[in-house]
Amino acid sequence: MRIDILTILPELLEGPFSASIMKRAQDKGHVDIHLHNIRDYSTDKHKNVDDYQYGGGAGMVMSIEPIVTIIEKLQKERFYDDVIFMTPDGTLLEQGVCNELSLKKNLILLCGHYKGIDERIREHFITKELSIGSYVLSGGELAAAVLTDAIVRLLPGVLNNETSALTDSFQDNLLSPPVYTRPPEYRGWKVPKILLSGNFPEIEKWREKKAQERTQERRPDLFDK
Ligand code: 6GU
């Protein structure tokens, strides 16, 4: 899979992809992540990438030209399944969307900033708009990092059996049950006896019950699904 991220702050995205699972996924060739600095495509003499909005009002708007230049350059090189705009007014990101996107071959993620992007970019190039939650971030970069991480960990070969994405919270609309490791007792706080019993069918039942209780308590919206 290939992911091209269009941003005015590429340095914000270098960190999240240079460690742990995301780094290994790239090193092993499961994903190819390319960062593009929108400013490099500005033809403005000051390398501006934003401008005042027509009709007046506070807040700058990201200009159409540099963004269209990169998108069209990339689309000439290969077919893109989706051109995704990261914006707080997009569709709320959920596991199902991540699962679907993990099956695609090439994606473009555009990180929004300022008051937004010239609406004509959305009309003519954007195929999906995604938000990562009901709060406002300074820009779409961290959201793009979240989306990329959520997709990449689903790619075959990225996780091993032990960390398999199939047992993640949300894959079955259930939160994970509590987990414990050694020691069996710490300051008098004991690990539930059942987990030390070696009775695996009973342990599985216990985990299922705890997962259901936790989901009902914390995320009744998921439980109803
Ligand atoms: Cl995708 N962008 C911004 N700027 N804020 C957000 C968001 C995206 N998702 C939630 N808040």
Range(s) of the domain holding residue 203: 169-223
Tell whether 163 is covered by a domain: no
Q: Which residues line ligand 1 (CB under 6 A)?
A: 86-88, 90, 112, 131-133, 135-137, 139-140, 143
Q: Residue 187 Cα, ligand 1 centroid: separation in angstroms?
A: 43
Q: Give pLDDT tens digits for 110-134.
A: 999 988 999 999 999 999 999 999 9
pLDDT at residue 162, as a whole number? 63
Total number of domains constituting the chain = 2
Residue nearest to atom 7 of ligand 1 (CA): 88
- 122 and 53 in a single domain? The answer is yes
Q: Are residues 12 and 118 in the same domain?
A: yes
Q: For residues 127 and 71, state if they share a domain.
A: yes
Whether 23 and 109 map to the same domain: the answer is yes
Report pLDDT for 169: 74
Whether residue 71 is found in the same domain as residue 114: yes
Q: Is the pLDDT of residue 13 over 90?
A: yes
Please indicate, yes or no, if residue 159 is contained in any of the structural domains.
Answer: no
Q: How many Å lie between the centroid of ligand 1 and the Cα of residue 88?
A: 4
| Average pLDDT over all residues of the chain | 95
Q: What percent of the chain stands above pLDDT 70? A: 98
For residues 117 and 174, membership in a common domain is answered with: no
pLDDT, tens only, 19-66? 999 999 999 999 999 999 999 999 999 999 999 999 999 999 999 999
- Ligand 1 centre and the CA of 129: distance in Å? 10
- Whether residue 114 lies inside any domain: the answer is yes
Would you say residue 162 lies in a domain? no
For residue 34, the model assigns a pLDDT of: 98
Ligand 1 atom with the smallest distance to the CA of 144 is 1
Residue 161 falls inside a structural domain? no
Domain boundary among 152, 186, 213: 152
The confidence score (pLDDT) of residue 163 equals 64
Query: Considering the domain boundaries, does residue 218 fall inside one?
Result: yes
Distance 132 CA to ligand 1 centre (A): 6
> Residue 162 Cα, ligand 1 centroid: separation in angstroms?
32
Mean pLDDT of 64-82: 98
| pLDDT tens sequence across 141-174 | 999 999 999 999 999 999 987 667 777 778 788 9
Whether 12 shows a pLDDT value over 80: the answer reads yes
Ligand 1 nearest atom to the CA of residue 139, by list position: 4
Which ligand 1 atom is nearest residue 147's CA? 1
> How is the chain classified by DSSP, letter by letter?
-EEEEEES-HHHHHTTTSSHHHHHHHHTTS-EEEEEEGGGG--STT---EEEPTT--SSEEE-HHHHHHHHHHHHHHS--SEEEEEEEEEEEP-HHHHHHHTT-SEEEEEE--TT-B-HHHHHHT-SEEEESSSS--SSSHHHHHHHHHHHHTTSTTTS-GGG-GGGSTTTTS-PPPP---S-SEETTEEPPGGGGS--HHHHHHHHHHHHHHHHHHH-HHHHT-
CATH number of the CATH domain containing 47? 3.40.1280.10
| CATH code (residue 199) | 1.10.1270.20
